[in-house]
């Protein structure tokens, strides 16, 4: 990851926010590394924007302290923080040209006119807006407005760029294009990026780490691989992509592996958490294989196919276990055809290290 001397390192300790009796954020502790690309991910109302506003200095926290490069900035007003902000819906100044919008943060900071001209021109080139300098925001497309917002937030070389759902107003193809541009801008500037999204695939694709929120609580923070492969709880497991959940009973821990009973079959989970007793076993569909038989000692469960959906490159099968758990797998089309021919009853198997053991 590129290192940038200006990129800020942020530490949030025990941050809480109450609106009257309502607790929007609770005891949030999080380190954001220099030059990191962090995604704040969670459902609507989980506190993502509230946390971003606290980072920006637009909202004072009710509890906790906020540090930037080791300095306590909790009580520092927004205009004295080195944070660039891209608001949801961009919040461009409608009566100002593209140029004037981008120049605004430099004017506020009373930079010399020559420097402003040069930096604005550089920024316009960098985000691909040459030829649009004198237009008003209303004369721009959605993607172009997005670029102006990014340029305005980056022009004063902020220590951290905060983005609230920056792509939600864009259609799918433009979204993909802007995501790639944001990744490039992150690499070029080396600045710390914190962006809010409720799109899990966007977070997995862009972020170096993901912080997952629900009901004002930070549930887990980790690299995309960590949160996807080792979710800390059921909410995180289900929020990130598809996952199959099976009851696993009488779980015991022995020699670094856990064993338990899943519909009368002994199942092993390796590299698992220390959960014991009656638990839940989660397995991503892509790690499950359809077979006509399972070896003894192998992780597997019998299920019946209830529906199949042809997806072009693969077929999605919906299955039901003997005790009524619904499962989904996506398999090559020829495998699906064989499975559907064989009386619809199949074995689903998976490697012991691909099981995720979670508290029920």
- Which residues of this protein are in contact with ligand ATP, per CB under 6 A? 19, 22, 24, 42, 44-50, 198
Q: Which does 19 bind (CB under 5 to 8 A by kind): Mg ion, ligand ATP, none?
A: ligand ATP
Tell me how far, at minimum, the Cβ of 32 lies from ligand ATP, in Å: 17
Q: Note the helical H segments in the chain.
A: 48-56, 98-108, 113-126, 142-154, 172-189, 200-206, 224-229, 234-239, 333-341
Copy the structure tokens of residue 92. Answer: 């461009």
The position carrying tokens 């991503």 is 284
Q: Which does 105 bind (CB under 5 to 8 A by kind): Mg ion, ligand ATP, none?
A: none
**Residue 13 burial (CB < 10 Å; 0-12/13-18/19+)?**
middle
Dist CA 29 CA 293 (whole Å): 48
Tell me how far, at minimum, the Cβ of 1 lies from Mg ion, in Å: 27
Tell me how far, at minimum, the Cβ of 18 lies from Mg ion, in Å: 17
**Residue 105 burial (CB < 10 Å; 0-12/13-18/19+)?**
buried
Does 50 bind Mg ion (CB under 5 A)? Our answer is no
**DSSP-derived secondary structure for 302-321:** EEEEEEEEE-SSSEEEEEEE
Residue nearest to Mg ion (CB): 49
Q: What pairing do the DSSP bridges indicate for beta strands 209-214 and 217-222?
A: antiparallel
Q: Which range, of 20-28, 43-51, 89-97, 251-259, touches Mg ion by CB under 5 A?
A: 43-51
Tell me how far, at minimum, the Cβ of 48 lies from Mg ion, in Å: 5
Q: Which is nearer to ligand ATP, 47 or 159 (CB)?
A: 47
Q: Which is nearer to Mg ion, 2 or 60 (CB)?
A: 60
Tell me how far, at minimum, the Cβ of 19 lies from ligand ATP, in Å: 3
Q: Which is nearer to ligand ATP, 12 or 151 (CB)?
A: 12
Does 49 bind Mg ion (CB under 5 A)? Our answer is yes
Q: Which is nearer to ligand ATP, 99 or 202 (CB)?
A: 202
Residue 293: which of 216, 234, 349, 235 has the closest Cα? 349
Tell me how far, at minimum, the Cβ of 107 lies from ligand ATP, in Å: 29
Binding residues for Mg ion, rule: CB under 5 A, are 49
């Amino acid at each position: 990851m590129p290192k940038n001397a200006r990129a800020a390192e942020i530490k949030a300790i025990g941050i809480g926010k109450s609106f009257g009796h309502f607790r929007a954020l609770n005891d949030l502790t999080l380190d954001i590394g220099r030059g990191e690309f962090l995604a704040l991910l969670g459902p609507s109302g989980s506190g993502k924007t509230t946390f971003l506003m606290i980072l920006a200095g637009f909202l004072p926290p009710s509890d906790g302290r906020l540090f930037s490069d080791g300095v306590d900035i909790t009580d520092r007003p927004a205009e004295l923080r080195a944070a660039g902000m891209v608001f949801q819906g961009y919040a461009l100044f409608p009566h100002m040209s593209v140029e004037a919008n981008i120049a605004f943060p430099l004017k506020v900071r009373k930079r010399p006119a020559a420097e402003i001209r040069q930096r604005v021109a550089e920024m316009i080139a960098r985000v691909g807006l040459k030829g649009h300098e004198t237009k008003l925001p209303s004369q721009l497309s959605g993607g172009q407005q997005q670029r102006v917002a990014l340029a305005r937030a980056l022009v004063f070389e902020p220590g951290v760029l905060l983005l609230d759902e920056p792509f939600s107003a864009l259609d799918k193809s433009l979204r993909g294009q802007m995501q790639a541009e944001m990744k490039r801008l992150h690499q070029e500037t080396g600045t710390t990026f914190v962006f809010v999204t409720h799109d899990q695939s966007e977070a997995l694709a862009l972020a170096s780490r993901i912080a997952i929120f629900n009901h004002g609580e930070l549930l887990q923070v980790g690299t995309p691989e960590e949160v996807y492969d080792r979710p800390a709880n059921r909410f995180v497991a289900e929020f990130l992509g598809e996952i199959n959940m099976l009851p696993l009973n009488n779980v015991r821990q022995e020699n670094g592996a856990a064993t338990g009973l899943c519909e009368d079959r002994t199942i092993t989970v390796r590299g698992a958490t220390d959960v014991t007793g009656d638990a839940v076993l989660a397995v991503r569909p892509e790690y499950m294989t359809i077979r006509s038989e399972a070896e003894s000692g192998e992780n597997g469960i019998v299920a019946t196919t209830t529906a199949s959906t042809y997806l072009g490159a693969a077929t999605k099968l919906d299955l039901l276990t003997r005790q009524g758990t619904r499962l989904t797998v996506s398999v090559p089309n020829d495998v699906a055809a064989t499975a559907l021919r064989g009386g619809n009853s199949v074995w689903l198997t998976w490697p012991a290290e691909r099981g995720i053991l979670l508290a029920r």
